[in-house]
Structures are given as C-alpha cells and as structure tokens.
Structure 1
Amino acid sequence: MRLFDPIGASLAATLCALCLAAGAHAEAADEEPARGIDVSHYQGRIRWDLMPAGSLHFAFIKATGGTHRVDPEFDNNWHGAREVGITRGAYHFFYAGDDPIAQAEHFARTVISLRPDDLPPVIDVEITDGATPEALVDGVLAWLRTVENRLGRRPIVYTYHAFANQYLVDPRLSGYPLWIAAYDVRQPVLPAAWDDRGWHFWQHTHNGSFSGVNTPVDLNVFNGSLGQLQQFIRDYAGGACPPESPSCPP
C-alpha cells in the first residue's frame, strides 16, 4: 500500500491518526503534520524528480558511519532532494567502538556546511558495540558537542524506546531534539530521558513506499505542521534552541 499516495483513499485516515499523535504542536485540528522519509544506499538510486510535488516535506539522508564510511548515495540524495525543493537533513550512524570525535569530524567534513533551511544534523544511536551505558553516553555527547561546534546546529538524536531506556538514560541527552522510531502504534512512547521533553520526529514505519523509490522506505512525521517545521529549523539554525520558542522543548 502506498501510505502517502496523494490520491489514495488511505491517506486521510493515516494523516488523521498522525495528526492526533502530533497534536501537541498542531495549531488546528485539521492541520496536517509535515511528512518525510529517511534514506540511504539501501534504497538504491532514488529518482527525486519523480516525487509528486507537495507530497513530501523533508528527507533525512545518511551521510556517514563510523570514522571513515561515507554512504555511496549521499551526494545523489543530498543534492537531489534540494533540487526538487525537499527540506533535507544529514545523519550519521554512530559506532560506539570508534572514536567519537573522529566520527564527528568525519561527518562534518562530509557534509561540509548546512544551509539556513537545512534540518539540524542527526546522530543515529541504536547499537552499543559492547560499550557500557556510561561509555556510550560519553561518546554520544562528545559527538553531539563536536558536530554542534563544527556545523553551528544543535543535533537531533535518533533512537528507539527500548534501547534508549537501557543505554541513553543520561538527562543531559534531553537537551537535544528526539527523533523516535516506533512502529505499529498510534503514538510513540517516550524514552525516560525525554519523558518531559516530547518528540520532534517520529519514524512510524520502515516498510513504506513512495514514487521515485524502488524499495521499502522509512516514513516519518514531524510533530507539527510544515510551518512549524520551518520554525523549528529557524530556531535551531543558531545552535541551541531559544527557550522562549514554542518549538523548543520545555
């Protein structure tokens, strides 16, 4: 099923459920949440030019992993998304067994710079490489701080509930926006570290489909409308989110 087919009968029901889950940031009950995908070389060569206009608001794109891996499709996806007007963001897959500063520098060298309308950078944390929770958190925080210093944006943390509740319990992590993976639920359950902060992005399936992508693809929503997504980007463009902004965590 094409979950976000713009003329499909399933779209209204799907968006209705997601609007309810994203209601904390929505300005009106009938306002749709901003929709997105996240991609890597696992999706093969994506035809960004085939995506229906207005059907996709943002895309997270894998850039790097570890200290030297670069996703083979990063350049195509990074430039292709922008060429068709899709808001883009870059993410890094974190290996706790590799030096976190070297990983952050590798990511920053690959992305080079972010435009004012790009999403904040992302660290994908879902494996431990045998590290203790304390060592994992220390490494993640070192990556976050280094990337924020190099690229001028406070990064986003991507993870999932069970992993985060076991390994990412340090309250210092709650100062970073959360992108949560949670499938087959009406709304995600927050990890303890973010319990009072809320989520900004939700990856709600790993088995979606979209024009221009020939394989299953992850589908996401932002916790708010397209206008609120744009405000979120503006708030984080200078690094730490201004505490008075409505899109910031409390």
Structure 2
Amino acid sequence: MTSILHGVDVHARYQAGWPQKTIPGVDFVITKATGGTSLVIDGWKSMLAGAKRTGVYHYARERGRAGTAAQEAANFIRQAALAPSDALLVLDWEEASGNNLGNADWVLEWMRLVEAALGRRPVFYTYRATLLAHPSLRRVQQAGYPLWYARYPYSAPVGWKSYEQPTDVPYWGRPAIWQYSSAGGVPGWDAALDLNIFYGGPSDWAALTASTNRDTTSEGESLVARTPAQAVDWAQSMIGKRQYAGMCERFVRTAYGYPAAYRTAMLAYEASKKAGTIHMDTTPPVGVPVFWRLQGVPAGHVALSIGGGRAISTSGEDGSSGIQVIRIANYQPRHSTYLGWAEVYHGQRVYTAAAAAATAATAAATTKTGRHRWYTGRIDGHFGPETVKALQRALAREKRYTRAVDGSFGTETSKSWQGWLRDQKTYTHAVDGSFGVESWKAVQRSMKARNLYSRMIDGQAGTYTITAVQHWLAGNY
C-alpha cells in the first residue's frame, strides 16, 4: 500500500472540546466553518488548534440559508481566509443540500470563486449515491477538482483502518480522501467520529493544499499583445460566457494578450499603482483596467472599461456571474470599494492622451458625433452574422443582452432587441423573442426617428430596413 494519513472531520457543535492533541494517530483535522449564505460555526477555529494538518469545509445550500454560488462562496471565503494558509478547502455537497444535486454549474462556480480568492484548489466532498444519480457531476472531475469520497463499507463502529484506495469511484476512479466511517471510535475519544484516509504522505498532502498562483494560460487564450481597442473587441466577443467565473484578473490580462504575472486583481492593482497614475473618476477612457476592493475577498476585482462609465466584467453589479456590461458607479457586490482606473497594467502603458484618442476612433468606440460605431462592415442590406454581432454588442452596452456575441439571431437576441425597442416607445407588444411583423415595424419606426428610414412602415425586413439598421449600428446618423 502507498503511504496514507489518518484524519477526522469534526464540528464544534457536536465535538465540543475536541482534544485532538492528546489523541494518537490523528494526522489531519477538518472542520465545518460555514453553511449557506450566512451560517458561521461558532468556535470552528478552535477545532484546528495544534493540528498537524488542517482543513475547513462549507456545507452547500444549508437549509433556510441557501443562496447562489457567489453568495455562498463569499460567506466561506470570509471565514476560510482566517484559517491556516495551507488549510484544505472543501465544498460539502450532499442530500440535505437541496434537491438539485446535479447542478454542476453551481458547484463549479463556487469552486472557481474560492480558488481565485484564496489561491488554493478546493476539494469536492460527496457520496457515491450522489455521483451515480447525477452524471453531470462528471464535469467537476473534468475541471480537475479532487474528490473526498464518502462511502461506508461497515455500519458497525470501527477504529483506524488502512483500506486500500478504492478504484471504482464514479468519474474520478480513485479519491484523494475516503471517509470510510461515520461511527468511528478511536482511543482517547468516547463518542462517534467521521474517520478518513488520505492516500499519500505528508508531501502529497502539501501538494494538495499548495497555492495555485500559477494562473497559466488556458486553451484558446491568445498571448499576442493587443491594443486597448483590440482588448475591448475581444472582451465584447466574450459577453454572456461563464468560463472566467471568479477569474477576473485572468480575463482582463487575456483581453490584452498579456502572460500571467499576478494571481489576483489586487496584486495587479498594487503593481499598476506603483508604475503609474491611478484616476478616481468613474468614467474612464476606453480600454483601461478598472479596480475594486471587495470586503472579505482578498483577491479584489478588475474589469475592462468600454467608455461611457461602463466596463466589461466577469460579474454583475449585484455579484451575479457571467461576462457582462456593468455601470462602473453601480458595481456594488460584497460592499465593494472603488479603487479607480490605471494608466499602466502588467508593466505596459495602456493609456496616454494620444492612445485614448486613437482607441476612441478605432475600437467599437465613439464616432465624431458621439455615437457608437458597432458595425464596420459593408452597408449591403444583408442581415448576416456580422450585422447581428454588431447588434448584440450595441444591446450589450445597453445592458439588454448578456449572452455570447456569436452572430446568431436567436431568441435571446430577439428578446433583447424587443426590450430595447420598447424602451424607445416604438414597440408595445410582448417581449417574447418571436421577432415578427410587429417587431420589424418597431425597428422601422426607430430608424425613421433617426432619419435613416423613409419607406412604408410595413414590418418587412427588406433591404431598405436592414440598410437603415446597418447605418444605425455604424453611427451614420
């Protein structure tokens, strides 16, 4: 058998006075710190006192306190930041957590947010039955998160065991940790304990809890340096996607095409502050990084300005996840503090007066008349993918569209446009994504109000109507 470590997971409420220093054979202690959006276990830190190796876990969707992954991650991060810097971080995902145990998106968002904030890769805890019932949880394994596996081969109380590592665990094959008893009995403690085996020695445990400050480039990320205007174009193409949840610094530096240098937004901010001027206004120029400090989240936050007091961010004004357009002055999750925008980012000057003027003239930016140039293609009356992409970017700026800029005129794009047309007082029907005659009549009315369309309001998406739309998206009015 390979090296193993024995450990327990304890709860300050049920194992009060846990004297682990006097109990032989305890190589690690893991304790519950938080649950749901607001539960904090009184005395959890005392359960780790004197332990050789430590860990803290969060009980997902605690009854009566269930919330979004971002809300629950914030609760855990605030407490886990007080644990030893090499403590194992764990998400406890089990039956009492709620009925939707197959919600891999929730799990992955929580894991990524915690990893980004604390710099260590969390471990996923669950039961065999949960894994078998929910194949979607395979995605947690595919994302590279280790498993703490709960399965009890015997119902009778047992002591320390040296079981061989299981090889038939769904999706993972082998777990990092196996909880083999919930009724364990060990010398020196007269009540039941959860007993666990970690498969590896001290150096393997250290590797499991090591910092993930690598921030390596992911597949598909370009390291070709971009101008601020090009960075904005790339960021706009990512609107609606979720792959950078909890990784704002990676998102912004990838937009610029810069290699990894700083693990967190706060580290990047401090470097930018030392290297150049920080401005505190909330209407930064196009293509500069914008920073916030977040209460209880040491990593902070960074977004990319697109002008007009707006930025593209990996989280919303209320903390919701997904790449989206935010209003800088309204970004309020986790009691954020605005830190300003920087002229220098990753050692590169991204703002000068001349560069800002060039960016404003060339990036999907503002024309001489103060209008936005989202469409730069040929005015040909064809409602193709490039025209639709321009429409999606324009609607994203108005916070109407939050999905991917993919050039597909589907339901979400249609609903977004209908909502915008209703704002313009040209559309009074249902915002249902069915873009028919009444919707196109509203488009024609909006274009006519801008002196771009002079034909009959007939609701036909013909060449004249689409040409007007292209002129509108190009700022030619």
- When normalised by structure 2's length, the TM-score is 0.39
What is residue 164 of structure 1 aligned with on the other side? 131
Residue in structure 2 matching 1:194, options 160, 166, 172: 172
Matched, 1:223 2:199: yes
Q: Contact conserved, 2:151 with 2:181, CA < 8 A, in 1?
A: yes
Residue in structure 1 matching 2:184, options 189, 195, 208: 208
Matched, 1:125 2:125: no
Write the deviation string for residues 189-242 of structure 1: whole angstroms up to 9, x where unpaired. 6443323xx2100011111123554421111111122333234333xx226899
* Backbone CA RMSD of aligned residues: 2.5
- Structure 1 runs of 4+ aligned residues shifted over 6 Å read none
Residue in structure 1 matching 2:6, options 26, 35, 39: 35
Q: Which runs of 5+ in 2 are unaligned?
A: 155-162, 217-477
What is residue 72 of structure 1 aligned with on the other side? 42
Aligned pair in 2 of structure 1 residues 43, 214: CA closer, same or farther (>3 Å)? farther
What is residue 16 of structure 1 aligned with on the other side? none
In the aligned structure 1, how far is the partner of 2:7 from the partner of 2:101?
33
Aligned pair in 2 of structure 1 residues 218, 239: CA closer, same or farther (>3 Å)? farther
What is residue 184 of structure 1 aligned with on the other side? 153
Residue in structure 2 matching 1:137, options 90, 93, 104: 104
Matches within 5 A, 1:233-248: 233-234=209-210, 237-238=211-212
In the aligned structure 1, how far is the partner of 2:214 from the partner of 2:169?
21
Q: Which runs of 5+ in 1 are unaligned?
A: 1-18, 20-25, 27-31, 243-250
In the aligned structure 2, how far is the partner of 1:155 from the partner of 1:241?
15
Q: Contact conserved, 2:184 with 2:193, CA < 8 A, in 1?
A: yes
The letter of the residue matching 1:194 is W
Q: Contact conserved, 1:33 with 1:223, CA < 8 A, in 2?
A: yes
In the aligned structure 2, how far is the partner of 1:155 from the partner of 1:239?
14
In the aligned structure 1, how far is the partner of 2:57 from the partner of 2:67?
17
What is residue 12 of structure 1 aligned with on the other side? none
Residue in structure 2 matching 1:57, options 10, 27, 30: 27
In the aligned structure 2, how far is the partner of 1:102 from the partner of 1:70?
14
- How far apart are 1:85 and its partner, in Å? 4.1
In the aligned structure 2, how far is the partner of 1:232 from the partner of 1:132?
25
Write the deviation string for residues 125-179 of structure 1: whole angstroms up to 9, x where unpaired. 012523262xx21211111111111111110000111111212534320010000
In the aligned structure 2, how far is the partner of 1:188 from the partner of 1:162?
15
Q: Which has the higher contact order (CA 8 A, sep 6+)?
A: 1
What is residue 91 of structure 1 aligned with on the other side? 57
* Count of residue pairs brought into register by the alignment: 200
Aligned pair in 2 of structure 1 residues 155, 241: CA closer, same or farther (>3 Å)? farther
Q: Secondary structure at the match of 1:193?
A: coil
- How far apart are 1:47 and its partner, in Å? 1.8
In the aligned structure 2, how far is the partner of 1:240 from the partner of 1:182?
33
Aligned pair in 2 of structure 1 residues 51, 93: CA closer, same or farther (>3 Å)? same
Percent identity, aligned pairs only, is 31
In the aligned structure 2, how far is the partner of 1:158 from the partner of 1:190?
16
The letter of the residue matching 1:193 is Y
Aligned pair in 2 of structure 1 residues 211, 68: CA closer, same or farther (>3 Å)? farther
In the aligned structure 2, how far is the partner of 1:88 from the partner of 1:132?
27
Residue in structure 2 matching 1:45, options 17, 23, 29: 17
Q: Contact conserved, 1:58 with 1:86, CA < 8 A, in 2?
A: yes
Moved more, 222-231 or 139-148: 222-231
What is residue 152 of structure 1 aligned with on the other side? 119
Q: Secondary structure at the match of 2:99?
A: coil
Aligned pair in 2 of structure 1 residues 90, 240: CA closer, same or farther (>3 Å)? farther
Q: Contact conserved, 2:33 with 2:76, CA < 8 A, in 1?
A: yes
- When normalised by structure 1's length, the TM-score is 0.71
What is residue 71 of structure 2 aligned with on the other side? 102
In the aligned structure 2, how far is the partner of 1:138 from the partner of 1:68?
21
In the aligned structure 2, how far is the partner of 1:188 from the partner of 1:93?
24
Q: Contact conserved, 2:31 with 2:55, CA < 8 A, in 1?
A: yes
In the aligned structure 1, how far is the partner of 2:101 from the partner of 2:176?
27
